[in-house]
A and B are shown apart, each in its own frame.
Chain A
Amino acid sequence: MDLNQIMEYLNKDKLSIEEEQWLVAQLRTQEAGVSRLGTTLFPERLCQACESLLPDFVHLEVSGGDAPARYPLVAEHLEQCANCTAVYTDLTEMVTLAYADDVPVQAHSPQLDLSFLTKSSLSPETAPSIWQHLSQAGQQVHQLFTQIRVQIAQEAASFGQLPQPLQPAWIATPTRRDNEPKQGQVLPLPSDGHDLSFHLIVGPVAGKQATLSIEVKRVSANQPLSRLRITMKDDERHLLASELTDDVGRVTFPRLAAGHYFLEIKYQDRIWELPMNFTWQPE
């Protein structure tokens, strides 16, 4: 590292592209210094970062895990910072009380205002429709407005880029292999004005093939819908598999290789059709 050269460039009013690239490359080698500079300039930000991790730290510790081993820098920071230690102590007390079920139940409920929930939440009534209404051979078909992309990777499948308002969330899939929960994704799909909602779940991969689960729920009763016919078809709409939902409203299609599919959910006299595209994308 040439400190004189660095100083010379920093002193310049305008740098050429080459000079800036050289300077950035030099400073990149000084990562420890960059981190130290931040710690000195913004110690309160270090505390904020620590505080955002403290719930995970405390939860892990109270659950019997080795939190200092998992978050060694948080543990180190706690040794030096009285403010963060105070947060840690309070949080540990609260989580310990909760997990010992030592929280008293009051006879009366608090008067809380939950109207903030409705202000920005997208309710099914106000949500833009994600379904196109078609008629196929006299059958009312509600087709999803977009193709659902699924990327199959070595360990797990995940949803590809999806347009708004479709928003998948990470979960650990119910299927376990080697006693380890596998990470997967769930994509909630509200139906349009009907008393149904669907959850698509992708997760474990074996031999370049993914597993897809679908859960169907009756919204009003908040209950799973069992014995509902769900069909998987190939890109030419040839039948691949057809199953009835089980007691928890779920059907699972294992071993789906890369390709185009149509998932059909039949309810009363209507069909909800989801075009899907599975692609193999090893990391």
Chain B
Amino acid sequence: MTTFLKERQMSENLIHQCHQIAEHLVGKHDWRLCTAERLATSVLDRIQVMEQTGEKINITQLTLNEYVLRQYAACQPQQAQINMAEHNRAYEELGRYLYNMLFKLRPDWSEPEKEDATQMALVQIYQALQENKVREPGAFWAFAFNKLRGEIKRLERQREMGGQAPISIGPTTDSDETGMLPFINLPDETLPFMEQEIMRQQLCDDIIHQILRTFQLHPRAKQQLMAAFLKYAFDCSNAEIAERLEIPASSIASVIARGRKKFQANETLANLWEQLFELELS
């Protein structure tokens, strides 16, 4: 009986704490994609699962992450078809958050500079979502921050090169829509292993065909391509390549370098390899 009461007491404390944190965060950031109550309920659902698996619980982090999932869902292109106001609202909130982040990262920047970086990052996030490039919805903020970082670096390069200060842009599209975003929770886009293996093999095949195509495209540079191919794909030494291709040892390095440049000029090959790298790294 005592244990039951203790558990119940702990649980009530936890519920209270979750609601308090959700209310604080929603109020502080003026988030309106869902109510604090709804957010707290989702967090409690997650905590229930995490308690059983013994995972470490950080309520603030969980609450923020739950809101990230809602923001991700509302920023999805499909959401524009269902509720444009909410879609707008999600981007407006994300933009405001990125802008606020800049006050921490680049406090010395002028407001137009901060606005410019935010604006460009938002457009890039929008384009990436259109192309389904966000791999892990829970990491949506990290994805957005990466875009913001790219814009920060771009503007800093522009500054170094003596470029003009960026100009502030257009009026805010605001929406007073409030309400709840539904159900979407914790997606995991990780490909099942078999599917990943099939994709890897297909990419390898495409690369091989593209390598052969490079040989066909440069009939007069076959020796150069062959030299680079033997060097990098088969790990042959310069001496071995020189012997196989009957090239003087003194010129083998420049032959390999020319072959390498011809391969590098094949954009399709570069794109295929990038896809393969991404698959292998994931």
Contacts and interface: CB of A to CB of B under 8 A. Distances in A.
Interface of A: 3, 7, 10-11, 13, 15, 20, 23-24, 27-28, 30-31, 33-42, 45-46, 48-56, 58-60, 62-64, 71, 73-74, 77, 87, 90-91, 93-95, 97-106, 109-118, 120-124, 127, 165, 167, 169-174, 176, 179, 181, 183, 186, 188, 190, 197, 199, 201, 213, 215, 217, 219, 221-224, 248-250
Contact of A45 (B178, B228, B277): B277
B169 A181 contact: no
B123 interface: yes
A134 to B, nearest CB: 23
A188 B222 contact: no
Contacts of A221: 179
A63 B146 contact: no
A36 B232 contact: yes
A179 B52 contact: yes
B119 A113 contact: yes
A171 B187 contact: yes
Interface in B172-221: 172-174, 177-180, 182-189, 204-205, 207-209, 211-212, 215-216, 219
B139 A38 contact: no
B258 interface: no
B182 A224 contact: yes
B208 A51 contact: no
Interface in B88-126: 88, 91-92, 95-97, 99-101, 103-105, 111, 114-115, 118-119, 122-123, 126
A2 B277 CA distance: 27
Contacts of A58: 139, 142
B183 A174 contact: yes
Chain B interface helix/strand/loop/mixed: helix
A56 B207 contact: no
28 contacts: A35-B280, A36-B232, A36-B233, A37-B233, A45-B274, A53-B135, A55-B142, A55-B146, A56-B135, A87-B149, A99-B65, A101-B25, A101-B64, A109-B96, A112-B95, A112-B169, A113-B169, A114-B95, A121-B81, A170-B189, A171-B183, A172-B187, A183-B187, A213-B183, A217-B83, A222-B86, A222-B179, A248-B180
A117 B91 contact: yes
B205 A24 contact: yes
A109 to B, nearest CB: 6
A188 B171 contact: no
A223 B38 CA distance: 12
Contacts of A15: 212
A222 B114 contact: no
B136 interface: yes
B104 A121 contact: no
A105 B29 contact: yes
A54 to B, nearest CB: 7
B155 to A, nearest CB: 14
Interface of B: 25, 28-30, 49, 52-53, 55-56, 58, 60-61, 64-65, 76-88, 91-92, 95-97, 99-101, 103-105, 111, 114-115, 118-119, 122-123, 126, 130, 133, 135-136, 138-139, 141-143, 145-146, 148-149, 168-174, 177-180, 182-189, 204-205, 207-209, 211-212, 215-216, 219, 222, 225-226, 228-230, 232-235, 244, 260, 263-264, 269-271, 273-278, 280-282
B96 to A, nearest CB: 6
Contact of A114 (B172, B182, B230): B172
Contact of A49 (B133, B225, B281): B281
Given A51-B146, A113-B171, A171-B184, A59 B136 contact: yes
Contacts of B135: 52-53, 55-56
Nearest to B219: A13
Contacts of B58: 64, 99
Given A42-B269, A217-B83, 17 more contacts: A10-B222, A33-B234, A34-B208, A38-B207, A48-B274, A49-B277, A56-B135, A93-B105, A99-B61, A112-B122, A112-B172, A115-B173, A127-B81, A169-B76, A172-B187, A217-B182, A248-B182
A87 B146 contact: yes
A116 B169 CA distance: 13
B233 A30 contact: yes
Interface centre among B29, B58, B115, B143 (most CB of A within 10 A): B143
A87 to B, nearest CB: 7
B174 to A, nearest CB: 8
B273 A31 contact: no
B80 A117 contact: yes
Given A37-B232, A222-B86, A94 B270 contact: no
Contact of B139 (A56, A104, A111): A56
Contact of A94 (B149, B182, B232): B149
A179 B276 CA distance: 33
A114 B228 CA distance: 49
Nearest to B215: A10
Given A77-B281, A103-B100, A222-B86, A121 B136 contact: no
